[in-house]
Amino acid sequence: MGPVTSEPGPASPAPPGRPGTAGASGPGRPPVVSDLPPVVSGRPRVVIAEDSVLLLAGLTKLLESAGFEVAATAGEASGLLAAVERERPDVVIADVRMPPSHTDEGIRAALVIRSQWPDIAILVLSQYVEERYAADLLSANTRGVGYLLKDRVADVAEFLDALRRVAAGGTALDPEVVAQLLVRRGGDPLDDLTQRERDVLAMMAEGRSNAEIGSALVITESAVSKHINSIFAKLGLHPGDVGHRRVLAVLRYLGAGPAGSAT
């Protein structure tokens, strides 16, 4: 699975395993679904919320060596909210499950941050896909948000790539999150799309590039672009809209995006 790009267009050649973006993922592992915002300049400031001492130490060392400034860390949700209010970082990394109950404190704190400080990017880490909270996190604002399973951290290059994209205002979704949201929707496409548009949008949700979609459907890349533009129009995603239209289209297909005129 390759990244979901922000706008349709001819796809440039890409290394095997990660069509449409630089680098390659590990064998048999689809890369994170993401849009492609500009690279963040400078030294992004990060607040990390993680109750595992070992993982927290590892993340801190990794981020600092990769050019991030770790402004603060927290081991529980209230500490995270206090650190964000105090530091106003560029991006927050938060575990879904944190003390005291280890259920949903982290994701609920992320939703509070999303509401009170919408300009702060958030990357949520989870051992499992928390489907309901993933949809809530993605529903109001698709800029600067990510949801990854913790085993993604083991692929350092891919994790850092996802973090940088989220910090730059992009979106990064673990393929497992996409799959679960598809199950939640039941796979039913939006009613006003043609069958061909449904096929194209389904492949967009899988993270395929225009070239891959064209190859799979045995149509030209130009035809793929026309179908995608038609999908955008039917979903009310016009060029002047705020946000990344390709990601917004996929989120609406998955049932996690903000309601539009075509819902």
CA proximity to 6, closest of 181, 142, 182:
142
Per-domain residue ranges for the chain? Answer: 33-173, 186-254
DSSP class of 147: E
Topology given in CATH for the domain delimited by 186-254: Arc Repressor Mutant, subunit A (1.10.10)
User: If you count DSSP H runs as helices and E runs as strands, how many of each does the chain have, helices first?
Assistant: 10, 7
Confidence of residue 174 (pLDDT cuts 50, 70, 90): confident
Neighbours of 262 (CB within 10 A): 15
CA proximity to 207, closest of 12, 24, 34:
34
Phi then psi for residue 70, to 5 deg, are: -85, 100
CA proximity to 128, closest of 73, 180, 78:
180
> Taking 50 as the threshold, does the pLDDT of residue 192 lie above it?
yes
CATH class of 33-173: alpha beta
Confidence of residue 233 (pLDDT cuts 50, 70, 90): confident
Neighbours of 197 (CB within 10 A): 18
Task: Answer for the pair 173, 34: CB distance below 8 angstroms, yes or no.
Answer: yes
Instruction: Find where tokens 């001492």 sit.
Output: 53
Return all residues near 242 (Cβ < 8 A) that are at least 6 apart: 143
Per-residue pLDDT reduced to its tens digit, 50-80: 999 999 999 999 999 999 999 999 999 999 9
Q: At what angle do helices 210-217 and 221-234 cross, to 10 degrees?
A: 110
Q: How far apart are the first and last CA of the chain?
A: 26
pTM over 0.85: no
91-95: strand order across its sheet: 33-34, 171-173, 145-149, 121-126, 91-95, 45-49, 69-74
